Amino acid sequence: NKMLDNGDGESILWAYSKLRKRREPKKSLIVLSDGQPACHQHSIETFTKQVIKEIEKDASVDIYGIGILDGTVKRFYKNHTVINNISELESGIVDVIKNKFI
């Protein structure tokens, strides 16, 4: 089932590894999520939490979770917000960039 192959931790780790190679002294990673990670691996939630915690320790990278119509990001990200109406997605992302990263 393709719906069970949503390895957030692996995707976040991949994006983080690419971001770390950039020369800018400060980097930002915004993760959009529509729910809980789902994968055939039983430990995917634990793995995803560990990946996020390690990135949060890196002072050169800010990571921020945005939940889209779902509040699960509250359990994973220290810095997070939830968009409860899809029409607010664009303004929500812009607000995060302006208020958290600039």
Tens-digit pLDDT profile for residues 2-30: 444 567 888 999 999 999 999 998 899 99
Other Cβ atoms closer than 10 A to 66: 21
pLDDT of residue 2: 45
Query: In order along the chain (102 residues), what is the average pLDDT of each group of 10 residues?
Result: 63 95 93 77 82 96 94 94 92 88 72
Residue 20 near residue 57, CB atoms below 8 Å: no
Question: What would the two tokens of residue 68 be?
Answer: 């889209």
- Cα separation, 55 vs 50, in Å, equals 9
**Cβ-contact 78, 56 below 8 angstroms:** yes
